Amino acid sequence: MTDRHAAARAAFEAALAATASGTKATSTPTFTAGSEATTEPTAEPTSRAPSEPGARTRRPKAWQPIPGDPDSDASSRDAEPDHHDFARQIVLRQLAMSPKSRKQLRDKLRQRNCPDDVAEAVLDRMTEVGLVDDEAYAGMLVRSQQAGRGLAKRALARELRTKGVDDETAKATLDAIDPHAERDQAERLVAKRLRSMHGLDATVQTRRLAGMLARKGYPADLSMSVIREALAQAAEHQRD
């Protein structure tokens, strides 16, 4: 055996001995052409536990579940969204803010990209339980507009149409208005406005009062009758 072979064998045996004794660093023979074998220490690869099938990936310690995050609830990751429940929540929130007609609610659902068939099914159910009632809504709207703004039938019909109440429901609601109550309302409006027009010419007063009543939807014949009567009774227009 040559010296070269002896040196290589000695290096190989030294490496085996180091491995058997549990030493991390081992020597492996390195051969250079025309020279004796030399040894270089090499680091033993750190062993890693094999990952078990189905093992969950650990979250960072700072991780906290986010409310509503699908990843925080494994049971909801594959769940399909309930379009009917989504539509119901929209309708209930809208009604909680203020009364609304069926058309207003339908328009809101369309704005939220709710399918038409789902919207109609939800609105039908809401109508069955009395949460959506265009007749009740129309009656409430008429009463509030009469009391708050003194509107007459023509203006009330325009308001109902704007809110999406159908013509049949609107007509039934407007037909229930007492004509005498409408004249009384016009008289109160004229009396109130006249107090702020003291000293003006009767022609100017008539023109302004007629314009006010017209904007509120009162018929021209009723308006002029109420205005003439009010001016005739006004102290500033009484003859000495």
Q: Using one digit for the tens of pLDDT, what is the confidence trace for 22-39?
A: 444 444 444 344 444 444
Sign of CA dihedral 237, 202, 222, 214: negative
Q: Tokens 């009723």: give the residue.
A: 222
Domain residues of the chain, as ranges? 3-41, 83-128, 178-240
> Rounded to whole angstroms, how far apart are CA atoms 155 and 215?
8
Q: Is the pLDDT of residue 10 over 80?
A: no
Residue 137, burial from CB neighbour count under 10 angstroms (0-12, 13-18, 19+): buried
Q: Are strands 25-30 and 38-43 parallel, antiparallel or unpaired?
A: antiparallel
> Rounded to whole angstroms, how far apart are CA atoms 138 and 99?
10
* CB of 50 closer than 8 Å to CB of 68: no
* pLDDT classification of 95: cutoffs 50, 70, 90: very high
Percent of the chain with pLDDT over 70: 65
